[in-house]
Chain A
Amino acid sequence: DADVTQTPRNRITKTGKRIMLECSQTKGHDRMYWYRQDPGLGLRLIYYSFDVKDINKGEISDGYSVSRQAQAKFSLSLESAIPNQTALYFCATSDTGYTYGYTFGSGTRLTVV
């Protein structure tokens, strides 16, 4: 099994719909992150959580919300999806040091039509 599992892998949704992307990890890390990747823009941080009771906005949090259900689970919601939220979404975990970097999931490709 993968260390970081994201579901679904692909999703097409309509403008205005609410959608949730889920992430679970088996690394035992306290720290979890949500990123989006767009062509020509690189990876950008949406939200991060350093433990179950700690949730923080990243660079581009508008239009998104998150929930940290447990140490191993971190979900991202789009309350009312819009076409410019079409992107590749990655969940990641890390420990407190830089030695091993992030461990990323395989991503969710989201298309909003």
Chain B
Amino acid sequence: EDQVTQSPEALRLQEGESSSLNCSYTVSGLRGLFWYRQDPGKGPEFLFTLYSAGEEKEKERLKATLTKKESFLHITAPKPEDSATYLCAVTTGGYQKVTFGIGTKLQVIP
């Protein structure tokens, strides 16, 4: 059974204090790993897809990296508007085989 574990469950940062969120996965044959951002009362918003170990993608203050066992979402100099829950998901073949993690709730304090 595919498993996705995100840590920490919650993270509180001061504005400008860089940190990383972790997504560790146990799957048979990773085809893709996704990161999403979810604001309260809204649906998840797509951020990145990573396909193979060593791959990196960036968007503004966010950088996602992938190894054979885990992915990191690095947040550089976060701002209060980065506060959200960040979800990780993996697929072993097709969107019908996507497994989501529970998420990391990030709060950035001014």
The answer, yes or no, to whether A4 is at the interface (CB within 8 Å) is yes
Are B100 and A107 in contact, CB atoms less than 8 angstroms apart? Answer: no
Taking CB atoms and an 8 Å cut-off, the chain B residues in 41-64 that contact chain A are 41-46, 49, 51
Taking CB atoms and an 8 Å cut-off, the chain A residues in 9-62 that contact chain B are 31, 33, 40-45, 48, 56, 58
The answer, yes or no, to whether B108 is at the interface (CB within 8 Å) is no
* Complex contacts, A105 vs chain B, CB 8 Å: 43
| Minimum distance in angstroms from B17 CB to a CB of chain A | 27
Are B32 and A98 in contact, CB atoms less than 8 angstroms apart? Answer: yes
Taking CB atoms and an 8 Å cut-off, the chain B residues in 1-41 that contact chain A are 4, 31-32, 34, 36, 41
Interface of A is mostly: strand
Closest to A35 in B: B100
Size range of the chain B interface in the assembly:
20 to 34
Which of A4, A43, A92 gathers most chain B CB within 10 Å? A43
Are A104 and B49 in contact, CB atoms less than 8 angstroms apart? Answer: no
Are B42 and A107 in contact, CB atoms less than 8 angstroms apart? Answer: yes
The answer, yes or no, to whether B103 is at the interface (CB within 8 Å) is yes
Are B43 and A40 in contact, CB atoms less than 8 angstroms apart? Answer: no
Closest to B43 in A: A104
* Complex contacts, A92 vs chain B, CB 8 Å: 43
The answer, yes or no, to whether A74 is at the interface (CB within 8 Å) is no
**Distance of A26 Cα from B4 Cα, bound (Å):** 31
**Inter-chain pairs besides A42-B4, A42-B103, A92-B43, 7 sampled, C-beta below 8 Å:** A41-B102, A42-B101, A43-B44, A43-B89, A43-B100, A48-B96, A104-B43
Chain B residues with a Cβ under 8 A of chain A? 4, 31-32, 34, 36, 41-46, 49, 51, 87, 89, 91, 95-96, 98, 100-103
